[in-house]
Structure 1
Amino acid sequence: MLSYLLKQSRGLLLAAAFASALAGVFSVLLVAQINAALTADTGAARAALAWTFGGVAVLAMLSQMGASVLFERLSQSAHAVLRRYISQHVVAADFRRLEELGGPKVHSALSEHSTRVAEFFVSVPAILTNAIIVVGCLVYMAWLSWQVFLAALVVIGLGSLGYHLAHLRAIRHLDTASREQDRLFDHFRSLVDGAKELRLNGRKRERFSQEVLGDSIETVRRERARGMSIFVASASWGNFLIYAFIGLVLFMLVGDVPERTRVMTGFALVFVYMVTPLETLLLNLPRANLARVSAARIDEITQNLPATDDGPSATRAPALSRVTLEGVRHRYYHEASDDMFTLGPIDLTFETGQLTFLVGGNGSGKTTLAKLLLGLYRPEEGRVLLNGERVDDASRDRYRQCFSAIFSDFHLFDRLLDVPSAELDTTGNALIEKLHLKHKVQMRDGAFTTRALSQGQRKRLALVVAYLEDRPFLVFDEWAADQDPVFKDVFYRELLPELKAQGKTVLVITHDDRYFPLADRLVRMDNGQIVSCEQVCVAPETRSRHAPLLAVAP
């Protein structure tokens, strides 16, 4: 993941890194100029150094400013690239794999993990600049006295070893916290989605708050605190070694050598100056480690969302006269039986203008059959035919454009995304008025003014979207379940006959047995099998005599 980001922003990264390197070099030169000024013999020598000092200070400021600006832009660019990268994987992923992975992990990757990786680039200037300052200070110390420099290397080596061992311990805690964070996101969603249930059951609310949500929050807090505390403690250990070395230089290591004052002053000054850069470096390195952990989590999530083998994305629906399922089977885990559930073999044909009701008990496989029909699931056995031609991976996306569907767990977007039309608002608002939603919502520039509606009202609005999409095959999964008796009657007696009259193929998953006579065909399912497929003869008086519900002029 980090390699991918670096490739995407190579030029900007090189420019920012170069500016950071210059900032570090100029900072070390400033220390050298200060030491030279402190040990200068005459006022004239100090005056000559003043101009050099001023020029180096200005260059250090400009280079540091440039590096910070460039890396801030790089951070925002990285954040955008990451979100596009993850979103593209989600959009292109197989629907079944996306269901198995679950929304919380995707949300976590798009929010927390991508933010951590992006924040890493903000810390890069501090890491690069301070690393160069530390290296430059070491070079300057070697120039002052190579004997004392060797002792400095021993101190730095001990500090580095201690920090490395602490790093290995801390990263385990941070990784544990990262994995628990994914579960915590799921609990946060339950906190809102299950608000009604939690308020109706005090014991459930208390256990969820304390044992589920509380334990998860505490685990994230504890593991992160442990990991970051180890990093901070190791940084403090490094600072102690620095001050201990300064004491050794001042009182033991520097004997009666030429220019003893300049050497002692130089070493003391350099080590004091190194404290802040080294501390900043050690404190920013954990951010790099957090970015590495988050990048690994993003890699793991995206690798679990392999792109489908579908051909180029299709936008227009092909002509449809017949859809056939031949020997279609699909297996999945069934919670009720705690076992693998087999759907099929299914042999079923849908003709243009045919109204089919799919009925059966809960868990009989109706919704799964609908997903297989829609091309959201690949059949494990058998085949799906469109107009007599087999639907394969290359043509599956084009095949899916034949359908509009409203599932029981449907999502309503805030705007229409695929129906460009100058008359869109007029047509949409006419439909909204006929469905008695005019006082709640309007369509403006292809977008809905609000989605703060009841479940039944949102389903009616989803019906508007499905009508405007104008696909040849419509699937309704328990659409009328959340409607009052008036709109339930409108759906079965007015909307469905009108769609049939328009030549649409319609599949309705329903339990409303009083409306079964209105269908052309009644397909019954039980335990994953089609147990009957009955043609229905409807008397003319059974049909509605009302004006067409959706007869809206274009």
Structure 2
Amino acid sequence: MLSHLIRQSRHLLVAAAFASIVSGVCGVLLVTQINAALTAPDGAARTALAWRFAAIAVAAMLSHMASSVLFERLSQHAHAELRRFISARVLGSDYRRLEEIGAPKVQSALSEHSANVAGFFVSFPAILVNAIVVAGCLVYMALLSWQVFLASAVVIGLGSVGYHVAHLRAIRHLDAASMEQDHLFGHFRSLVDGAKELRLNAAKRTAFAHDVLGASIETVRRRRAFGMSVFVVSAAWGNFLIYAFIGLVLFVLVGEVPDRARIMTGFALVFVYMVAPLEILLMSLPRANLARVSAARIDEIAQQLACSEAAVTKPPVRGFDHIVLKGVCHRYWHEGVDDIFTLGPVDLTFRPGQVTYLVGGNGSGKTSLAKLLVGLYRPEEGQVLLDGEVVDDSGRDRYRQTFSAIFSDFHLFDRLLDLDSADLDERGNALLARLHLQHKVQVRDGAFTTRSLSLGQRKRLALVVAYLEDRPFLVFDEWAADQDPVFKDVFYRELLPDLKARGKAVLAITHDDRYFPLADRLIRMENGQVVVVESPRAEEPASFAAVA
């Protein structure tokens, strides 16, 4: 992931890196000029030295500004690209695979992990500049006295080995914290999704707060605090070695040699100057390691979200003559039986102008069958045929455009995203009025004025969307379960017959047995098997054509 981002922004990265190198070189040159000024005699040479110092200082300032601005732009670009990349993978992934991965991992990748990777580009100039400063200081020390430089290399080597050993231990804790972060996002979601249950049960609320949420927060805190503390301790150890070496230079290593004062002053000055860059360098490396860990997590999630289907953009919605499920099977883990649940084999045919009720007990496989029908699930065995053509990975996304569906866990967008017509607001508001929602919500400029409604009212909004989409096949998963008796009656006696009259195919998953006689066809399921297909007689109900 990091290498992909670097390749994508290589020109900007090269420019920013060059500015950082110039800034680092200028920093080293400033140290040499300071050391020269401490021993330079008065006169023209000192004046020239002052002008050089001023020119280098200005160059250091300008290059540092350029480097910081360019790397900030790189950081924001990287953050945006990561979010686009992850979002595209989520939108294009197999729906069943997305269910298995879960929302918390995706949210963690979009927020924390992408922010950590973007933060790498902010810390990169600090790493590069200070690495240049440290390297330049080492070169300058070698020019002053190679014997003392060798001793300094030993000291820095000891510090580096200690830091490396500490790094290996710290990174394990950062990895563990990153893994736990995914679980923590799921617990954060439960704070809102489970708000009712937590308030109705004080014992459950306490257990969740302390044993689940609190434990997860504490695990992330402890792991990250330990990992970062190891880095801090190792950095402090490195600083101690530097000051110890300064003491050795001042009192032990430099004997009676020519230019003794200049050498001692130079080494002491360089080492004091190196303390801050070396500390910044050591403190910036953990952020780079954290970015590496987060990039690895994003890579892992992206690989899990791989898709073999060919995506379509906005194909024309066309009608169909028949859809056939031929020997279709689907398997998944069923918590109720604590075993693999097999749905099928199922053989069914659906045609336009046909209202089908799908009934059965909870856990019988009704919703899974609906997801197979609309193309959200890929059958492990058997085939789905549209007008005689097999629906495979190359055409499954196009096939899905035949359907509008309202599942029990539906999501309602605030805008009518795929609809664009001059009378959209008028048509939408007419439907809202028919469903008695005109005083709660309106359609303005293709968007709902609010979604802060009860579940039953939001389902009615979703029904408005389905009507406006005008797809050939509509699927309703327990749509009437949260409606009052008046709207139950409207749904079964007016809405569904109107859709039939308009030539739509309808599949309604329902438990409302009093309305079973209204169906053209009744499919009963038990334990993943279609056990009965009935054709009850239905009286001709009232029309809902006024809404259309």
Same fold (TM over 0.5): yes
1:122 maps to what in 2? 122
**SS at the partner of 2:219?**
helix
Deviation at 1:200, TM superposition (A): 0.8
Q: Judging changes above 3 Å, is the alpha-carbon distance between structure 1 residues 400 and 416 closer, same or farther for their aligned structure 2 residues?
A: same
SS in 2 for 1:436: coil
Deviation per residue, 1:371-407 (Å, 9 max, x gap): 0000111111111111111111111111111000000
AA in 1 matched with 2:81: V
Counterpart contact for 1:314–1:397, Cα < 8 Å: no
Q: 1:548 aligns with which of 526, 545, 548?
A: 545
Counterpart of 2:524, as a letter, is R
Q: Which residue in the other structure is 1:187 paired with? A: 187
Structure 1 residue 113: Cα displacement: 0.2
CA shift at 1:318, angstroms?
Answer: 2.9
Q: Once the 2 structures are TM-superposed, how far is the Cα of residue 360 of structure 1 from its aligned partner? A: 0.3
Distance in 1 (alpha carbons) for counterparts of 2:443 and 2:309? 36
Matched position secondary structure for 1:352:
coil
Find the counterpart in structure 1 of residue 376 from structure 2. Answer: 376
SS at match of 2:405: strand
Q: Return the alpha-carbon distance in structure 1 between the equivalents of residues 470 and 309 of structure 2.
A: 27
Q: Which residue of 2 aligns with 1:453?
A: 453
Which residue matches 1:174? Answer: 174
Number of corresponding residues: 548
Aligned to 1:66: 66
- Which residue does 2:443 correspond to in 1? 443
Q: For residue 48 of structure 2, give the secondary structure of its aligned residue in structure 1.
A: helix
Equivalent residue number for residue 11 of structure 1: 11
Residue 435 of structure 1 deviates from its aligned partner by 1.1
The 8 Å contact of residues 498 and 544 in structure 2, kept in 1 or not, is answered as no
Partner of 1:158: 158
Which amino acid letter does the alignment assign opposite residue 222 of structure 2?
R
1:423: Cα distance to partner? Answer: 1.3
Contact 1:351 1:505 survives alignment (8 Å): yes
Shift of 1:419: 1.3
Distance in 1 separating the partners of 2:311 and 2:294: 32
* Superposed displacement of residue 313, structure 1: 4.2
- The unaligned stretches of length 5 or more in structure 1 are none
Q: Distance in 2 between the 1:317 and 1:346 partners?
A: 26
Matches within 5 A, 1:89-100: 89-100=89-100
8 A Cα contact 2:355 2:519, kept in partner: yes
Letter aligned with residue 154 of structure 2: V
How do 1:504-515 and structure 2 match up within 5 A? 504-515=504-515
TM-superposed CA distance for 1:144, in Å, is: 0.6
Q: Which residue of 2 aligns with 1:331?
A: 331
Partner Cα separation in structure 2 for residue 8 and residue 533 of structure 1: 57
Specify the SS of the correspondent of 1:343: strand
Q: Determine whether 1:348 maps to 2:348.
A: yes
| Alignment TM-score, normalising by the size of structure 1 | 0.98
For 2:388 and 2:500, locate their aligned partners in 1 and report how far apart those are by CA, in whole Å. 22
Alpha-carbon distance between aligned partners in 1 of 2:492 and 2:99, rounded to the nearest angstrom: 31
Amino acid at match of 1:417: L
Q: Could you say what secondary structure the match of 1:384 adopts?
A: strand
Q: Is contact 2:93-2:305 (8 Å) kept? A: yes
Amino acid at match of 1:452: S
Q: Distance in 2 between matches of 1:306 and 1:86?
A: 11
Deviation at 1:314, TM superposition (A): 4.9
2:46 equivalent in structure 1: 46
Corresponding residue for 1:418?
418
Q: Is 2:307 aligned against 1:307?
A: yes
CA distance in 2, matches of 1:311, 1:283: 44
The C-alpha deviation readout for 1:115-171, integer Å capped at 9, x for no partner, is 000011001111100000000000010011111000010000000000000000000
CA distance in 2, matches of 1:508, 1:26: 73
Question: How far did residue 539 of structure 1 move?
Answer: 2.8
CA displacement at 1:447 relative to structure 2? 1.2
Where does residue 112 of structure 1 map in the other structure?
112
Instruction: Output the CA distance in 1 between the equivalents of 2:539 and 2:463.
Output: 27
> Residue 378 of structure 1: SS of its match in structure 2?
coil
Mapped contact 1:316–1:398 kept (Cα < 8 A): no
1:86 maps to 2:86: yes
Q: 5 Å matches for 1:507-526? A: 507-526=507-526
Aligned partners of 2:495 and 2:544 also within 8 Å: no
Counterpart of 1:272? 272
- Counterpart of 2:469, as a letter, is E
Give the AA of the match of 1:45.
A
Q: How far apart, CA to CA, are the structure 2 residues paired with 1:547 and 1:221?
A: 58
Within 5 Å, give how 1:239-250 maps onto structure 2: 239-250=239-250
Provide the C-alpha distance between the structure 1 equivalents of 2:430 and 2:311, rounded to a whole number of angstroms: 37
**Structure 2 CA distance for aligned equivalents of residues 78 and 529 of structure 1:** 49
**In the alignment, what sits opposite 2:390?**
390
Counterpart-to-counterpart distance in 1, 2:196 and 2:42 = 82
Contact 2:324 2:350 in 1 (8 A): yes
Q: Which amino acid in 2 is paired with 1:296?
A: A
Task: Return the alpha-carbon distance in structure 2 between the equivalents of residues 316 and 177 of structure 1.
Answer: 47
Task: Work out the CA distance in 2 between the residues paired with 1:125 and 1:326.
Answer: 60
Amino acid aligned to 1:393: D
Conserved in 2, the CA contact under 8 Å of 1:498 and 1:550? no
Secondary structure of the residue that 1:308 maps to in structure 2? coil
Cα deviation, residue 312, structure 1:
4.2
Q: CA RMSD in A?
A: 1.0
- 1:271 and 1:549 map into 2 onto residues whose CA distance is 86
Q: Distance in 2 between matches of 1:492 and 1:245?
A: 87
Whole-angstrom CA distance in 2 between matches of 1:85 and 1:395? 23
Shift of 1:340: 0.4
- The structural deviation recorded for 1:316 is 2.1
Cα distance between partner residues in 1 of 2:419 and 2:200: 42
- Taking the TM superposition and a 5 Å limit, the aligned residue runs for 1:493-508 are 493-508=493-508
- TM normalised by structure 2 equals 0.99
SS of equivalent to 1:246: helix
Tell me which amino acid in the other structure corresponds to 2:36. A
SS for the counterpart of 1:57 is: helix
1:7 counterpart letter in structure 2: R
Amino acid at match of 1:410: F
Residue 144 of structure 2 corresponds to residue 147 of structure 1: no
Structure 1 Cα separation of the partners of residues 422 and 140 of structure 2:
72
Name the aligned partner's letter for residue 402 of structure 2.
Answer: C
The one-letter amino acid of 1:454's match is S
CA contact (8 A) 1:20 1:129 kept: yes
C-alpha distance in 1 between matches for 2:229 and 2:208: 29
| Structure 1 SS opposite 2:241 | helix
